[in-house]
Structure 1
Amino acid sequence: MDVTNAAELWDRVVGSQPEPSPWLVAVTGVLALSLVVHRPAWLLARNAITIAHEGGHGLVALLSGRRLDGIRLHSDTSGLTVSRGRPTGIGMILTAAAGYTAPSLLGLGGAWLLAEDHITALLWGATGLLLVMLVMIRNAYGVLTVVVTGAAFLLVSWLTGPEVQAAFAYGVVWFLLLGGVRPPFELQRKRRSYGRRRASAAAGGTDSDPDQLARLTGVPATVWLLFFHVVTLSSLIGGGTWLLGL
């Protein structure tokens, strides 16, 4: 690739794209909401939330100085991230707290990029994060899920026009913001109906994230669940405000 082509590619990635029409923003939001509230669709689409959830655990583990051993994604939309380091302390606390907040915070960051009309940067950035995550996946279903998701981002960003890219990017960000709200409520409902044991089983046989955080900090798991609700709902309000241009 010569210097001119490299410069053009860089300008394409970091430059701004045309702002989509309000109806496209609204339609993609409605479609994302339908994926979240319609249970059969949610059972499939939730895989994307799991990718963000486990990716959040993994990224914060690395940033806090822990050693990331691997990530597993399962067909029932559960996941597991294994890291090594001190079993207590701020690094472990931040790693445990990152999962349920990651989809919403990623959606909030994506909403900011879209508000600044950086659609291509969002698509390429997401592709890069998925490629990095792929290196740490340790099971076949996880590899398949991440490869398919990354390929969708790459193909849309490389082969489609501005309107399709905008529709895809806004749909993804809306889904992260809306879909990030549902898992804490699901976990809360399981804990209320079946108790901690059932919630732990849903987390793959280990303690759920709030239970791990309660053990690490002494703060009750219900308080950590409330924290997850605050982060996800606040991200939805803030990100939705940016997306709608309010």
Structure 2
Amino acid sequence: MRTRARGLGSLAVSIDGLTELWDRLFGVQPDPPPLLVLFTAALALLVVAARVPWRIARNAITIAHEGGHALVALLTGRKLRGIRLHSDTSGLTLSAGRPTGPGMVFTLLAGYIAPSLIGLAGAWLLSGNRITLLLWIAVALLLAMLVMIRNFFGIVSIVVTTAIVFGVSWFAPPEVQAAFAYTGVWFLLLGGVRPVGELQTLRWRGQQPESDADQLARLTRVPGLFWVGLFGLITVAALGAGAGLLAVPLVDGLTR
């Protein structure tokens, strides 16, 4: 009887633990202060605009860029060979399959727009105050990407990034989680736009003949400038939509 009672007690503890974890993951956090929304937007803009902070933080954009290539390659039936992240903030995703056709086109198209679209999805989650859920989804995606990393610097980058996001999601108080999440999403939205301009500058100088836009031009016979323009249109649209979602607490605070 004691053994059975002990077993039932352990089961109750396990259920309570799972319930607590579920509530923590899918629970709704309080509305952030309006000033936090403004401060995190200004901080992200400063990082994107300043040369030295951008060179460091751009690794996060590269992770999202290469992750976009990898995800779409898998979704279109291509075989993912591996991902490399380099210390100069460049990256490379290798996949096997038909060298032409829609699968290859969508795989190439995904890279430059991935950070902005991920940022837009994050803004949607934040608009519903799902801050912890956003952070845990980020951890899951980073861990999934880690499996396909094929160089040492890439492994270190993913492990460090994952550790930071997980540490904030598990140990930080709600206010810190909110500040971290809002800064990260603002950075993805704003930081997704800058590489498109950098891409066209490098193409104009003839320094990037194998860019995603130029590969798309060879595959589709549509000029590379069109693809750069499409990248820019999507990233700017995502920034506008994401900013509207993130500004909800600010608008609510002003109308009260």
Same fold flag (TM > 0.5): yes
Are 2:88 and 1:76 equivalent residues in the alignment?
A: yes
Q: Distance in 2 between matches of 1:117 and 1:53?
A: 26
How high is the TM-score relative to the length of structure 2?
0.91
Are 2:216 and 1:213 equivalent residues in the alignment?
A: yes
How far off is 1:43 after superposition?
0.6
Are 2:141 and 1:141 equivalent residues in the alignment?
A: no
How high is the TM-score relative to the length of structure 1?
0.95
Matches within 5 A, 1:119-138: 119-138=131-150
| Alignment match, 1:187 | 199
How far off is 1:218 after superposition?
1.3
Matches within 5 A, 1:82-231: 82-192=94-204, 194-195=205-206, 198-200=207-209, 207-231=210-234
Q: Distance in 2 between matches of 1:13 and 1:74?
A: 33
Could you report, residue by residue, the CA deviation over 1:58-80 in whole angstroms, capped at 9, with x for unpaired residues? 01101111100000000000000
- Based on CA coordinates, which of the two structures has the bigger radius of gyration? 2
* SS at structure 2 position matched to 1:18: coil
Q: Distance in 2 between matches of 1:191 and 1:111?
A: 31
Unaligned runs of 5+ in 1: 201-206
How far off is 1:52 after superposition?
0.2
Q: Distance in 1 between matches of 2:23 and 2:222?
A: 48
* SS at structure 2 position matched to 1:58: helix
Are 2:233 and 1:244 equivalent residues in the alignment?
A: no
* SS at structure 2 position matched to 1:77: coil
Q: Distance in 1 between matches of 2:25 and 2:102?
A: 36
How far off is 1:225 after superposition?
0.3
Could you report, residue by residue, the CA deviation over 1:166-203 in whole angstroms, capped at 9, with x for unpaired residues? 000000000000000000100111122x12xx113xxx
What amino acid is aligned across from residue 3 of structure 1 in structure 2?
A: I
Are 2:245 and 1:233 equivalent residues in the alignment?
A: no
How far off is 1:165 after superposition?
0.2
Q: Distance in 1 between matches of 2:126 and 2:57?
A: 22
CA RMSD of aligned residues (A): 0.9
How far off is 1:154 after superposition?
0.2
How far off is 1:109 after superposition?
0.3
